[in-house]
Amino acid sequence: MELHTLTLTEAAAKLHSGEVTSVALTEAMLQRIEAHNPALNAFLSVTADAALESARQADARIRSGAASPLTGVPIALKDVICVKGLPTTAGSLILKGYRPPYNAAVVEKLSSAGAVILGKTNLDEFAMGSSTENSAYGPTRNPWDMSRVPGGSSGGSAAAVAARLAFGALGTDTGGSVRQPAALCGVVGLKPSYGRVSRYGLIAFGSSLDQIGVFGRTAEDAAVLIETIAGHDPRDGTSMPTPVPNYRAVLSRPLHGLRVGLPKEYFVSGVQADVSAGVNAAVKVLESLGATAREVTLPHTDLALSTYYIIAPAEASANLARFDGVRFGPRAEADSMWDEYRRTRGAGFGPEVKRRIMLGAYALSTGYYDAYYLQAQKVRTLIKADFDAAFNDVDVIACPTSPTTAFKIGEKVDDPLAMYLADVFTLPGSLAGIAGLSVNCGFDGDGLPIGLQLLGPAFTEERLLRVAHQYQQATEWHKRQPPAFSH
């Protein structure tokens, strides 16, 4: 039995039955990371000794009968989530060498569950990007084609799961950074509703948008992960005191009577033909399972991109003001305090982060705040109202996750607008704060994965997981492996 071929759920079942040990699973993942990560660059740091010690403790816990569904399962974390004592770079030189003195809330939950943390994964610097090319530590490559991007900003986590270097992973989604890389890497990526998962210990990008999400090969894998990390946390003022359901309990419920909305604004010219065909075929599968599909309209969709790129950079400019070389990270030498700040930030931040800080500072500046930031917040309200109206008539919305499959490394790096358009179908859901999920629904002519995006009202993650699970039960796409990583 090749352990890396197991899904997270299958690995957990074998752990609990005694067929395998956590140490064996962890050693298998560490061996694959050692063999494949130099070329893939999915991991920025690997904590082999700590992972093996956690695995030994997990095995003892399983033997004692005190295990949870994630006990002993090796997973990875995006390197924007704080883990006490481990390097946490946010993909930036400005945090090189930083080791947090505390754990993020999600890390506390994972540790309580007995999960094994393999290490930290690569990302676009401070989660700003759609390709993981903005990392100060080099780009991550797509396991399906090493000349292409894995998506971003959580490209390292998506690539690690797709390449079978981890059974699951955590990422973050501000404007699509879980769903888009999940689509491009052919895995399941779930962005929970805003407020579902605590952001305590997450290095902030856009505070009204950021949400920690999960990656797995199956919807069932994602259900196990989200059920573990979700829940209210008083340390996060945006965390909602909404009960966490048993996500796995509803997966097997049939789709009879489910109303699926197809937003006409997402099925437009400019979408890659293979992507349109794959998504339309997936909708036909849902209909064969008992769902009904109808067209809906989200009329302010065309304003989402510009709205996001005012709000998110504005919040980023405020959040990133704290990185000055005084409290953490390397510090540039200078004769004055202000010169020291300028030199530290100039050397520490990459081009995309600087671009967004400047955009945000401009949008918040005197004389422009009302014209840009305040206006964008009003449009955001209209975008949310579009979804509210649509969900009066349908239960879920189905559409492409990304307008194209994975593009070549370097293809869009010098064209910011082309890069931003990679998230055009994920941004509206982020602005509305609703739940979103991407599931693989086929491959294009080049053998690259296509993502089906499912959107649901706030706090209906279980609905999206059920639809994705039923779709995966009726199809075989999720069982394919990247050929270069099948052994």
State the catalytic residues: 78, 153, 177
**Which structure tokens are listed for 8?**
């997270």
Q: How many residues does the chain have?
A: 487
Contact 304, 430 (CB under 8 A): no
CA distances from residue 169 to 42, 81, 298, 446 in whole angstroms, order as listed: 11, 12, 32, 26
Separation of alpha carbons 86 and 93, rounded Å: 16
Give one DSSP letter per residue of 132-156, joined into a string.
S-S-TT----BTTBTTB---SSSHH
CA distances from residue 92 to 27, 330, 356, 369 in whole angstroms, order as listed: 29, 11, 14, 29
Q: Which residues pair with 437 in a beta bridge?
A: 190, 454
Contacts of 51 (CB under 8 A, 6+ apart): 26, 30, 74, 116, 117, 118, 119
- The gap from C-alpha 164 to its chain's centroid, in whole angstroms, comes to 17
What DSSP designation does 230 have?
A: B
User: Starting from the edge strand earliest in sequence, which strands make up the sheet with 435-443, in order?
Assistant: 43-46, 116-121, 74-78, 169-173, 211-216, 188-191, 435-443, 449-456, 396-400, 259-263, 292-296
Spell out the long-range contacts of 407-415 with Cβ–Cβ below 8 A and sequence spacing 24 or more: 407/131, 407/148, 407/149, 408/147, 408/148, 408/149, 409/131, 409/133, 409/139, 409/141, 409/147, 409/148, 409/149, 410/133, 412/131, 413/131, 413/133
The C-alpha angle with vertex 48 and arms to 42 and 49, in degrees rounded to 5, equals 160
Contact 267, 246 (CB under 8 A): no
**Which structure tokens are listed for 182?**
């999940």
**Which structure tokens are listed for 36?**
């494949």
Residue bearing tokens 């008083």: 234
Separation of alpha carbons 54 and 118, rounded Å: 10
The C-alpha angle with vertex 465 and arms to 133 and 470, in degrees rounded to 5, equals 115
